[in-house]
Amino acid sequence: MDFEIALFIALVVAGVIIYIDKIFGAPKRAVNSKRGSGEATLRMPILVEYSRSFFPVLLAVFLLRAFVVEPFRIPSGSMLPSLFIGDFILVSKFSYGVRLPILKKKLIPMGNPDRGDVMVFRFPRDPKTNFIKRVVGLPGDVVSYHNKRLIINGKPVPIEASDLIDWPTKDSSEERVRSFFERFGEEKHAILIDTLRSANSIRVTVPEGQYFVMGDNRDHSNDSRYWGFVPEEFVVGKAFFIWFSWDSVGENFVNWKRIGSFIQ
């Protein structure tokens, strides 16, 4: 079950218990109190006590996740070197507009994804699964990918050599994976190219109300090149901050250097 739905159900159940107690239980305890009944009959039921204690917490968490920020964990290396496996990130839920919880309908437009944003969205082929990729194509853009170069509206996206660590795998040479900086306007981000992997050429026009997304780890990313566009109604929010990082492959389990980093 989706965590947001489970949280909403828990919130409703706690609220119903509190309401029923207010209508039926509290008046009865008040009458017994005037009659001088024993302590056991005046005590609030434990279920009501827990509901009254947890309801404000559940409400705060639900509103925070629905309208402000939501935490996510990076499960794969498709966004290397920008995001590591084990990064715990925060996603702004209002950067692209305020949406109605559960139903996901936009209530207040506040902006649209920009080219270069790192965006969380519901996977079009399985809306229960969240994906994270970089927005490279906006509605109306003509996006091409040829010889591992990204071209937007007929203009190659500028890249420059990077001195980042190359990320070789155990069965590869040091020259297999190369890193570059790719630039959208004034903003730049790092990408990885696997020189031993082939890449198909594509050329598509992004439909209105949809977005073309790619992973920064270009040869190891399941993205719009393979399954198509992201509809606007599937957008969850903009990733902006790494609040914790767990290094699952190194000797140091907590990756302290990444904690507190902003996502570019």
Active site residues: 78, 133
3-class state of residue 108 by DSSP = strand
Give how far Cα 120 sits from Cα of 7, 23, 90, 227, 230, Å. Answer: 20, 43, 10, 16, 10
DSSP reduced 3-state for 46:
helix
What are the DSSP E strand ranges found in the chain? Answer: 69-73, 87-92, 98-99, 106-108, 118-123, 126-137, 142-146, 149-152, 155-156, 159-161, 177-184, 187-194, 202-205, 210-214, 230-231, 235-245, 261-262
Nearest to 228 by CA among 79, 130, 156, 124: 124
Report residue 188 as tokens.
């730049």
